[in-house]
Amino acid sequence: MGYINPLLQLSSGKALQDLPPEDRARIRAVLVDLRRQANDLAEEAWRRRKGPMAAYWRAVATYARHLAHALRPKTKDPHG
């Protein structure tokens, strides 16, 4: 992803990574779809000159992205 996910600094964010892989995959799928829908709503709000709603929906999309990335399948550490 190219940056440190700020949600993983929270105990709740770390707890997401301890969920069973099947649960993580289902939740991640919902969050990916939420991100897409929120981005669409942000664009629509921006077109309608509704800046505060555009900012709100963009923030929802950002949080959904961070959460979805936290739920990605765990990778094996090549160093050990």
Instruction: Tell me the pTM.
Output: 0.83
Rounded to 5°, the CA angle 59-1-40 comes to 35
How far from each other are the two terminal CA atoms of the chain, in whole angstroms? Answer: 22
What is the per-residue pLDDT for 50? 98
Residue 35: its pLDDT value, please? 98
- Per-domain residue ranges of the chain: 19-70
Helix H, strand E, coil C: the string for 46-57 is HHCCCHHHHHHH
Mean pLDDT, the chain, integer:
91
Nearest to 31 by CA among 73, 60, 11: 60
